[in-house]
Amino acid sequence: MSIKSEKAADLAGILDEVGEPVVWNDRTFKAIITSIESAQTLQIGGFGDDYDFTVKIAKAGLGRARPKLNDTISFDGQTYRIAKVSEAAGYPLITLTVKSK
Domain range enclosing 51: 3-100
- What pLDDT, on a 0 to 100 scale, did the predictor assign at position 50? 67
pLDDT 10s digits, 9-21: 888 788 888 999 9
- Of 48 and 29, more confident: 29
Count how many domains the chain has: 1
Range among 45-54, 77-86, 92-101 with highest mean pLDDT value = 77-86
- Of 59 and 40, more confident: 59
As a three-state string, the secondary structure of the chain is CCHHHHHHHHHHHHHHHHCEEEEECCEEEEEEECCCEEEEEEECCEEEEEEEEEEEEEHHHHCCCCCCCCCEEEECCEEEEEEEEEECCCCCEEEEEEEEC
**CATH assignment of the domain containing 94:** 2.40.10
